[in-house]
């Protein structure tokens, strides 16, 4: 779960500070790394990790991309106004 939170924080910071393309690219990389970590956790065979936690990563990644997109649009509107 901390990885999903870190991904959301990366999305918020990049959405507020970077141009839209950069914010979405940085967030997409963070989402890809988070998904990789969650899939690795389930498939490594160590521990008793349920497969549904991959869905948590997918939903968190979608939320992160939506957050970065929304914040970068708001920022762009403020800069151009």
Q: Which helix (H) or strand (E) holds 28?
A: helix 20-43
Name the one residue in this structure whose structure tokens are 């800069």.
79
- The whole-number pLDDT of residue 29 equals 97
| Contact in structure between 4 and 62 (CB atoms under 8 Å) | no
- The whole model's pTM is what? 0.88
Give the Cα separation of 56 and 50 in Å (integer).
11
Neighbour tally for 15: CB within 10 Å: 26
pLDDT tens digits, residue range 25-78? 999 999 999 999 999 999 998 888 899 999 999 999 999 999 999 999 998 887
Residues 6 or more apart whose CB falls under 8 angstroms from that of 27 comprise 7, 10, 11, 14, 15, 64, 65, 67, 68
């Amino acid at each position: 779960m901390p990885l999903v939170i870190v991904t959301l924080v990366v999305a918020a910071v990049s959405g507020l500070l970077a141009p839209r393309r950069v914010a979405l690219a940085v967030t997409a990389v963070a989402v890809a790394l988070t998904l990789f970590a969650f899939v690795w956790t389930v498939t490594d065979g160590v521990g008793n990790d349920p497969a549904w936690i991959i869905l948590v990563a997918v939903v968190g990644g979608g939320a992160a991309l939506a957050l970065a997109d929304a914040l970068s649009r708001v920022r762009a509107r403020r800069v151009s106004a």
